[in-house]
Amino acid sequence: TVCTIGVLTADAYKITDEFGVGRRFDGIGGLSGGGATSKLLVSYPEPQRSQILDLLFKQQHGAALQILKVEIGGDGQSTDGSESSHMHESWDESYHRGYEWWLMKEAKKRNPDILLSALSWAFPGWVGDYGSDPYKNVSKLAYYTVSWIKGAKEVHNLTIDFIGIWNERMWNNDYILELRSSLDRNGFRNTKIVAPDTFGMEYSGFEKLFENATLRNALYAIGVHYPGTELPRNMRSNGVPLWSSEDYSTFNDDVGAGCWARILNQNYVNGNMTSTISWNLIASYYSALPYERDGLMTAMHPWSGHYTIDNPIWVTAHTTHFASVGWNYLKHGKGSGKLGAGGSFVSLTNGKDLTIVIETLSHNHSICIRPSLPAYNVAEQSATFVFSGSFSAIKKLQLYTTRFFFDGRSTVPFEKQADAIITDSKLTLRLAVDAVYTLSTIVSPGRVEPKDIPAASDFPLPYSENFDSYAADEEPHYLAQQNGAWEVVKSEGESFVRQKVLNHEIAWCGQSFASTAAVIGDAKWRDVSISIRVRVPSSKGANTLFAALRSSSYGCGEDTSTGLFLWLNPNTTTYWISYDIASLHIAYIGLLPTPFQLDQWHTASLSVVGSTFSIGIDSHSISVALGKGAASHGFVAFGSQGYGYSDWDDLRVESGV
Among 44, 101, 126, 279, binds ligand 147 (CB under 6 A): 279
| Residue 53: DSSP 8-state | H
* Residue 75 in the binding site for ligand 147 (CB under 6 A): no
CB distance 478 to 520 below 8 Å: yes
Binders in 339-368 for ligand 147, by CB under 6 A: none
d(CA 618, CA 625): 21
Q: Nearest approach, Cβ of 80 to ligand 147 (angstroms)?
A: 8
* Residue 440 in the binding site for ligand 147 (CB under 6 A): no
Q: Which is nearer to ligand 147, 372 or 539 (CB)?
A: 372
Q: Nearest approach, Cβ of 200 to ligand 147 (angstroms)?
A: 6
Q: Which is nearer to ligand 147, 369 or 453 (CB)?
A: 369
d(CA 482, CA 635): 12
* Residue 199 in the binding site for ligand 147 (CB under 6 A): yes
Closest CA to 477 of 42, 35, 37: 42
Give the long-range contacts of residues 185-192, CB within 8 A, separation 24 or more. Answer: 186/146, 186/149, 186/150, 188/146, 188/149, 188/150, 188/160, 190/159, 190/161, 191/149, 191/159, 191/160, 191/161, 191/162, 191/163, 192/161, 192/162, 192/163, 192/219, 192/220, 192/221
Q: Nearest approach, Cβ of 294 to ligand 147 (angstroms)?
A: 6
Q: Which is nearer to ligand 147, 131 or 371 (CB)?
A: 371
Size of the site for ligand 147 (CB under 6 A): 15
* Residue 336 in the binding site for ligand 147 (CB under 6 A): no
| Residue 476: DSSP 8-state | P
Q: Nearest approach, Cβ of 313 to ligand 147 (angstroms)?
A: 19
Phi (first) and psi of residue 206, to 5 degrees: -65, -30
Binders in 569-608 for ligand 147, by CB under 6 A: none
Q: Which is nearer to ligand 147, 246 or 558 (CB)?
A: 246
CB distance 652 to 639 below 8 Å: no
**Which string of DSSP letters, residue by residue, matches 429-465?**
EEE-SSEEEEEESS--------S-PPPP-PPPSSEEE
Per-residue binder mask for ligand 147 (CB under 6 A), 241-260, x = binder: -----x--x-----------
Angle made by CA atoms 485, 557, 497, in degrees to the nearest 5: 20
Q: Nearest approach, Cβ of 365 to ligand 147 (angstroms)?
A: 20
d(CA 561, CA 549): 11
Q: Nearest approach, Cβ of 262 to ligand 147 (angstroms)?
A: 17
Per-residue binder mask for ligand 147 (CB under 6 A), 129-168, x = binder: --------------------------------------xx
* Residue 226 in the binding site for ligand 147 (CB under 6 A): yes
Per-residue binder mask for ligand 147 (CB under 6 A), 15-34, x = binder: -------------------x
Among 51, 77, 79, 515, binds ligand 147 (CB under 6 A): 79
Residues in CB range of 204: below 8 A, 6 or more apart: 232
Q: Which is nearer to ligand 147, 251 or 576 (CB)?
A: 251
CB distance 648 to 533 below 8 Å: yes
Q: Which is nearer to ligand 147, 510 or 656 (CB)?
A: 510
Q: Which is nearer to ligand 147, 330 or 506 (CB)?
A: 506
Q: How far is CA 33 from the centre of its chain?
A: 4
Per-residue binder mask for ligand 147 (CB under 6 A), 34-53, x = binder: x-------------------
Q: Which residue is nearest to ligand 147 (CB)?
A: 34
Q: Nearest approach, Cβ of 267 to ligand 147 (angstroms)?
A: 16
The neighbour count for residue 18, using CB atoms within 10 Å, is: 11
Q: Nearest approach, Cβ of 32 to ligand 147 (angstroms)?
A: 11
CA-to-CA dists, residue 211 to 173, 207, 216, 229, angstroms: 12, 7, 7, 24
Q: Which is nearer to ligand 147, 431 or 517 (CB)?
A: 517
Q: How far is CA 97 from the centre of its chain?
A: 17
Q: Nearest approach, Cβ of 198 to ligand 147 (angstroms)?
A: 9
Assign residue 408 a region (left: φ > 0; alpha: ψ between -120 and 50; beta: otherwise): left
d(CA 493, CA 488): 13
CB distance 152 to 101 below 8 Å: yes
Q: Which is nearer to ligand 147, 16 or 229 (CB)?
A: 229
Among 101, 291, 643, 645, binds ligand 147 (CB under 6 A): 291
Q: Which is nearer to ligand 147, 144 or 279 (CB)?
A: 279
Phi (first) and psi of residue 393, to 5 degrees: -95, 0
d(CA 648, CA 583): 21
CA-to-CA dists, residue 209 to 48, 201, 399, 422, 588, angstroms: 45, 15, 42, 46, 56
Q: Nearest approach, Cβ of 83 to ligand 147 (angstroms)?
A: 11
Among 23, 136, 370, 533, binds ligand 147 (CB under 6 A): 370
Please classify residue 372 by burial: count the beta carbons closer than 10 Å to its beta carbon, then call 0-12 exposed, 13-18 middle and 19+ buried.
Answer: exposed
Q: Which is nearer to ligand 147, 79 or 438 (CB)?
A: 79
Amino acid identity, position 26: D
Phi (first) and psi of residue 259, to 5 degrees: -55, -50
Residues in CB range of 496: below 8 A, 6 or more apart: 467, 488, 489, 533, 535, 647, 648, 649
As annotated, the active-site residues are 168, 246
Residues that bind ligand 147 (CB under 6 A): 34, 78-79, 167-168, 199-200, 225-226, 246, 249, 279, 291, 369-370
